[in-house]
Structures are given as structure tokens and as C-alpha cells.
Homo-oligomer: A and B are copies of this chain.
Amino acid sequence: MAIKVGIAGYGNLGRGVEKAVSFAPDMHLKGVFTRRNPEDVKTETGVPVYAMDDLDSMKDKIDVLILCGGSATDLPVQTPVLAGSFNVVDSFDTHKNIPDHFEKVDQAAKKAGKTGVISVGWDPGLFSLLRLIDESVLPEGETYTFWGKGVSQGHSDAVRRVKGVKDAKQYTIPVQEAIDKVRAGEQPELSTREKHTRECFVVPEEGADLERIEKEIKEMPNYFDEYDTTVRFISKEELDRDHKGLPHGGFVLRSGNTGDNHHLIEYKLELDSNPEFTASVLTAAARACARMNGEGMTGAKTIFDIPPAYYSVKSGEALRKELL
């Protein structure tokens, strides 16, 4: 019996989930739920679109709901509420608020006998899993996470908010020299500035003060002031032609030792589409979520709590035979 999936929120991530579910032979997409007027939303695969408010009446028709809203304002509210009626999966990534988010989802889900998998994707998500396994296996050592090269949507948005900026894209770039040091087993202490640089492609409004824009970006607290940032002014045509994708990726490295012997563990992602890959992880986690709920594992869960076999469409026997 196929796992019946709903998608709540239909932006880049929601469209990615729609695609990922279409690759899953054991999942069936029941519908997309939106806060927009459903008649204005057209899905890629023709799956029906409902108003978010229609969710109430579909509690029995959906095994797991994949929440595709943003971490800033959507998920902190939606996930705890919807976990009171559905098995849910989200990609909540505001790091400092994860413990609080976990508690809220845990309470709601446990009360309702539901399962809520939070903070799934690649970071938080797969990278977190690697960090945990790396330090559990090699307790003596250091873990390093590098992001990029890739587009940071939060940083791109921040640049777009600068006065005189018409459009912009920001790339986060890991410092090759820092990665090389870690790979060489040096276990360096690396400052924020030593790990990543930032590159902004900015379309200015006509007549804007470019010097002021550049200065304002480079000095922006939290976003850019701790980094070496390059600002490049380009035309709207160039931006649309050369920077339309949302590639991303990164590394988790563990440099550790067992006494005199050194060991290096490296995990690397190179993603053409950040939202589509994140959606793929969410979809595998949705399978796990539905199964865990079926076996009575309720409450909030993270990637740390999920037995890996639950991600796979294959049986335990097949997994042991083919992949172990």
C-alpha cells in the first residue's frame, strides 16, 4: 500500500518534493496545500492543489505531510500545529532554535500519537549525521564543516535589501587552502574568515552609488562583516544568464587519530540544485516518518533517531544482500 503524501507550501522546495515523490515507487502524492488561491497554482505533475485550510478535512487521507515553508516564519508555527494532526517532516534550519522547535513538535506529536521529523535536508541533515558518526567513531579529533561553492539564499536576500540593489546572488566559497590543511591532517584552528569567502553578483539600480552599496554589503553585520567579500556589479541580463541556478554543496571532514595512527573521513556534496536535493532528503525522511509512526515511534525525531533502513524502499533482507 503506497504511502500517501501531502506537500504543504509550493515554492522551490515543494516542487522539488513533488519531483522526488514521483521517483518513489512506494509513495503517492495526494495533493499540494497552499496559502495562495489554489486556482492560481499549477503543479508540475498535475497533482491537485488545495487551500491550506482544507488540510483539516484530510487527516485520514494523508500518511505524511512534507512541510516546505521557510524556517523564518512558516515552520516555527506550522510544524507544531500540524504535528497535532499529521505525521510531518520539515527542514527547519534556524540552528539556535532547534532545541525549542524540537520540544514543541515533540509535545504536539506525542499527544496526537504522531511522528514529527524535523530539521531534515543536508545541513542540518546529512551533514549532521556525518558529524555525529565521525565523532562517535573517532572521538580523538576535530570535525570541520565547509559550505559551497554555492548560492546562499539568505545572503542573497540580504544583499537585495541594500538600497540601490535591484537584484543579487551571493555565493559562499570554501577556502581551498583551509580544506587542504585539514586533509593534510594538520587539525588547524580556523577562524570564520579563514574558512569561507563570499562573492556577490549585484545588479544596481540606474544611477545608484556603487561605492556605497559595496561598502554597505561588506560591512553588513552577521552576514558579511566577518568574511572577505567580493562585490561584482553586473547587468540584469548577465545575472539571469549566468546565475540562474541554485547550486550548493560542501564538506564534512573529520581529522582524527587512534594513538599514533591518523585517519581522515571526508564527506562531500556537489549539488546542481539545493532545493531539489533537500527535497530528495525530505522525501526519504517522509518514508521513514510514516514507517516509524506505523511502528509506534511517536514524538519529534531528527536524523539522529532514524534507523537508516527506514529511508529505503527495500526490505531488510534485500538491503543486507545488496548493500551491506
Instruction: Check A313 against B136 for contact (C-beta < 8 Å).
Output: yes
Q: Does A277 contact B (CB under 8 A)?
A: yes
* Selected interface stretch from A49-57, A170-178, A208-216, A298-306: A298-306
Stoichiometry, as copies per complex, reads: 2
CB of A207 within 8 Å of the partner chain: no
Q: Give Cα A221–Cα B98 distance, bound, in whole angstroms.
A: 55
By the criterion of a CB under 8 Å from any partner CB, how many residues of chain A are at the interface?
64
A46 at the interface (CB under 8 A from B): no
| Whole-angstrom distance between the Cβ of A193 and the nearest chain B Cβ | 23
Q: Mark A232-255, 1 if CB is under 8 A from B, else 0.
A: 000000000000000000000000
Are B324 and A124 in contact (CB-based, < 8 A)?
yes
Selected A-B contacts with CB under 8 Å, 21 pairs: A19-B259, A23-B140, A124-B324, A128-B323, A128-B324, A136-B308, A136-B311, A136-B313, A137-B277, A258-B276, A261-B276, A263-B272, A263-B273, A264-B268, A264-B270, A266-B266, A266-B267, A266-B268, A302-B319, A304-B319, A304-B324
Q: Which residues of A contact B (CB under 8 A)?
A: 16, 19-20, 23-24, 95, 98-99, 102, 119, 124, 126, 128-129, 131-133, 135-140, 257-259, 261-273, 276-277, 279-281, 284, 287, 302-309, 311-313, 316-317, 319-321, 323-324
